[in-house]
Amino acid sequence: MAVIIGAGNVASALAPALETAGLEISQIWSRNPDNAARLASTLKIPAQPIADLSQIRQGEDLYLVSVTDDAIRPIAQRMKGFGGLWAHTSGSVDADVLSDITDTYGVFYPLQTFTRGITVEMSEVPLYIEGSDAASRQSLLEIAGRISRRVSLADSSRRRRLHAAAVFACNFVNYMWSVADDILREEGDDISVLFPLIEETMRKMEATGDPAAVQTGPARRNDKGVMDGHARLLSPEHSELYRTVSEKIINRYHPNERDQL
Amino acid sequence: MAVIIGAGNVASALAPALETAGLEISQIWSRNPDNAARLASTLKIPAQPIADLSQIRQGEDLYLVSVTDDAIRPIAQRMKGFGGLWAHTSGSVDADVLSDITDTYGVFYPLQTFTRGITVEMSEVPLYIEGSDAASRQSLLEIAGRISRRVSLADSSRRRRLHAAAVFACNFVNYMWSVADDILREEGDDISVLFPLIEETMRKMEATGDPAAVQTGPARRNDKGVMDGHARLLSPEHSELYRTVSEKIINRYHPNERDQL
């Protein structure tokens, strides 16, 4: 039996996955009782939704803390001396934030983007595991192995680096798409006209495994006429971003010409 | 018969596509004769590689100018009064840069990223057409229709906007991936560990058609602890980019909290 602490995007993806992997979810905590109830109701065997940490039952197999990074420490303080096997799901928080709760703790970090209402094939999601001792590590690896085909051990340093890289590769990429969508909507187009381009960009990068080698575009060519024209066309907010990213690309591919910008 | 002026990434993709569409390529010009010869040799019916604009034959069906934006005008100056149907392939240059050459001219803009050695399915590439008069427009539409299923008319204003959006959606996205790859290589990982994340990010954006609605990550949550940790982990060059993009996301999703950054 497992207790899920949190009912956000990550918790909403992991709770059903843990259930499918054979762990019954006994309780789901959220500060917001509606969120706990909503997630509990999506399970085959309904979990008990709770909004008070003091209601959490002792003696379960796993306590999974899946809340925003800033909320992990306050929760750990409240649960001092509780015992059991605890893991958080953060890419950036050290495992030992949980050490006041129990001696057996670790990290269960899914390297994926989750949005409520959008189903992700969990068997393909890379899971990075850390444990405070051999037994905790083994338990977490065993549970992870029932969920995903891509389970690895990662210490905090590697996990932080994976998370920072993921922010560029996922969150910042998505933001670039939202800027493209903004630009297109000003004349009645939208992001869908770029789908073939977006798919080819990804396909090319994955085929080579080397994004730096397949970089194209005005900044890659240091084509100042095009860059100036784009900067004039864009809103001040988008134009500033355009210049910053273009300068980075020029710095990389034309290091001796950057003073001309 | 068509003449291709240029032998770069775009010319290298369009020349075989035009040949497949039934237009014989008679000549390929490049300032660099080796590039012209290389592209000419990839065709089924070899074209004549030339390095001197004065060797271009008159009376062909199409003259396609596929060079960097800054090089189009000087070429047009050299070809004054030549006549025929001319089109350039740029997203950002006005069609009438070709008006000194001929009265019948236009634009043949493929909204795609091309890299030499990587084959693109041309039938799916959106082609945006502009023509100086009805006949030029019709000829270019007819040729485009033999190459791609996605042909549209677009005036210069719409084409510029498509191009600027494409820079964000393709070039800047690829650069974000190259930064992620840099970060991962510092501890022996590489971009391939992020492929499931990258694919899911794209899948989710395309499924909703609304990147702004599916934005996730530390900046979306305004999670300052994570952002500060990442900024400390990264090189100064990457850290500056991290802060700029994060600030843009915070400005959009937390407009009243940006002063705290």
Domain that holds residue A232: 159-260
Query: What phi, psi does A257 have (nearest 5°)?
Result: -110, 5
Same domain, B250 and B182: yes
A1: tokens are: 């039996």
Residue A111 and residue B206: Cβ atoms within 8 Å? no
Residue B168 and residue A157: Cβ atoms within 8 Å? no
Please give the C-alpha separations between residue B72 and each of A12, A53, A225, B79, B221, in angstroms, as whole numbers.
54, 68, 12, 11, 46
Please give the C-alpha separations between residue B208 and each of A178, B198, B204, B212, in angstroms, as whole numbers.
12, 16, 6, 10
A232: tokens are: 């004039």
The DSSP line for A60-128 is -SEEEE-S-HHHHHHHHHHTTT--SEEEE--SSS-GGGGTTT-SEEEEEEE-S---TT----GGGS-EE
C-beta separation of A151 from A145 below 8 A: yes
Q: What is the pLDDT of residue B79?
A: 97
Same domain, A118 and A218: no
Considering A122, A138, A154, which residue would you say is the last residue of a domain?
A: A154
Q: Which residues of B touch A9 (CB under 8 A)?
A: 216
Same domain, B103 and B179: no
State the burial class of residue A33 (Cβ atoms within 10 Å of its Cβ: 0-12, 13-18, 19+).
middle
Same domain, B27 and B150: yes
The Cα–Cα gap between B47 and B7 comes to: 12
Q: What is the pLDDT of residue B260?
A: 45
Considering B103, B127, B154, which residue would you say is the last residue of a domain?
A: B154
The DSSP line for A22-55 is T--EEEEE-SSHHHHHHHHHTSSSPPEEES-GGG
Distance of residue B85 Cα from the nearest chain A Cα, in angstroms: 25
Distance of residue A59 Cα from the nearest chain B Cα, in angstroms: 32
Element (DSSP H or E) covering residue A129 = strand A127-131
Q: What is the pLDDT of residue A154?
A: 95
The Cα–Cα gap between A46 and A25 comes to: 8
Q: What is the pLDDT of residue B200?
A: 93
Same domain, B85 and B23: yes
Q: How far, rounded to the nearest angstrom, does the alpha carbon of residue B225 sit from its chain's CA centroid?
A: 38
Q: What is the pLDDT of residue A260?
A: 46
Same domain, B192 and B97: no
The Cα–Cα gap between B176 and A96 comes to: 31
Q: Which residues are paired to B29 by β-bridges?
A: B5, B50
Considering A120, A154, A188, which residue would you say is the last residue of a domain?
A: A154
Same domain, A178 and A78: no
Tell me whether A124 touches chain B (CB under 8 Å): yes
Q: What is the pLDDT of residue B261?
A: 40
Q: What is the CATH number for A79? A: 3.40.50.720
User: How many Cβ atoms are within 10 Å of B34's Cβ, its own excluded?
Assistant: 11
Residue A204 and residue B115: Cβ atoms within 8 Å? yes
Q: Which residue has the tokens 């820079």?
A: B167
The Cα–Cα gap between A144 and A166 comes to: 20
Instruction: Provide the domain count of chain A.
Output: 2
Same domain, A126 and A252: no
Name the DSSP class of A193.
G
Residue A205 and residue B114: Cβ atoms within 8 Å? no
Q: What is the mean pLDDT of residues B200-214?
A: 96
Same domain, A84 and A25: yes
pLDDT tens sequence for chain A (261 residues):
999 999 999 999 999 999 999 999 999 999 999 999 999 999 999 999 999 999 999 999 999 999 999 899 999 999 999 999 999 999 999 999 999 999 999 999 999 988 888 888 899 899 999 999 999 999 999 999 999 999 999 999 999 999 999 999 999 999 999 999 999 999 899 999 999 999 999 999 999 999 999 999 999 999 888 999 999 999 999 999 999 999 999 999 999 875 444
Residue B161 and residue A187: Cβ atoms within 8 Å? yes
pLDDT tens-digit readout, A55-82: 999 999 999 999 999 899 999 999 999 9
Query: What phi, psi does B68 have (nearest 5°)?
Result: -60, 155
Residue in B126, B197, B226 nearest the CB of A111: B197
C-beta separation of A106 from A95 below 8 A: yes
User: How many Cβ atoms are within 10 Å of B158's Cβ, its own excluded?
Assistant: 18
Residue B198 and residue A169: Cβ atoms within 8 Å? yes
Note which residues in 70-109 of chain A have CB less than 8 A from chain B: 70, 91-92
pLDDT tens-digit readout, B18-73: 999 999 999 999 999 999 999 999 999 999 999 999 999 999 999 999 999 989 99
Q: What is the CATH number for A229? A: 1.10.1040.20
Residue in A125, A177, A241 nearest the CB of B211: A177
Q: Which residues of A touch B254 (CB under 8 A)?
A: none
Same domain, A56 and A147: yes
The Cα–Cα gap between B193 and A112 comes to: 11
Residue A198 and residue B214: Cβ atoms within 8 Å? no
Q: Which residues of A touch B171 (CB under 8 A)?
A: 215-220, 249
Same domain, A47 and A173: no
Tell me whether A123 touches chain B (CB under 8 Å): no
Same domain, B98 and B134: yes
pLDDT confidence tier of residue B199, bands split at 50, 70 and 90: very high
